[in-house]
Structure 1
């Protein structure tokens, strides 16, 4: 009984973290500047696999509503395109700074009705050492925690989805 209550508490915390990110303006992007490239690739591949379960490739257009200058963002966009997704990226603003990469999503475009708006957050917790990937697709949020080790990252739980 105690284990079930603990699991419910942990999942509630993860869901709460996912909703906190979406309610703040300017909370998107990669907030782990020192993550190894191999870790970013594994995280992006896992995020793309999860998207593939929910949105069929070749019939889904994703509108990335933030710039993706970081390794995780570039790898995620590349993986999604290789799987058959149409990914529309926000063009970088002239004279943009590093702080602009965490800007709020762009306003919807006239043809956005047939597409899914898309944002991501990659951040970490120091104690215990965990990475967290949050995908925001329209009004739906998906979050998963990972344990980083020297050569790989391992899921610390299932994907938590808030609709």
Structure 2
């Protein structure tokens, strides 16, 4: 157990706290929910940075980090779908969650084939993740209908577009292996 892995575990602990804060009936609960999500997003970046910098990458961390990220994002999106109760938010949420499931399965399958490097994280994925985190931070911290929530919604749509683009790139990279296995 090292500091990067502890940061990843902290992100998992943040998830139920995020849900509790989200549902508290106080005016300060939305900004605090957003602040906790922001802290979790920072730990996502920090654990990877420290693991590389201190040469503390572990198989456990490599497994748990993407799981913690995907669960955190999926929970935040589910909370927001309920709050906004709108197809305008549900559509990008479904795109993002669906893509994460497809790409996670694809990465696992490619790893079993010894070809994990062909579906490694790309720069598009990094930009997508940044936009997604910013959008969720904005949307979690403000009620629907505000200019900040509208900015968050636009940012979420940009993230969803990059989500589809990166998924197509991953599928194209894996296509030779996929068709060979049919």
Using structure 1 for the length normalisation, give the TM-score: 0.30
More strand per residue? 1
Question: Which of the pair has more CA radius of gyration?
Answer: 2
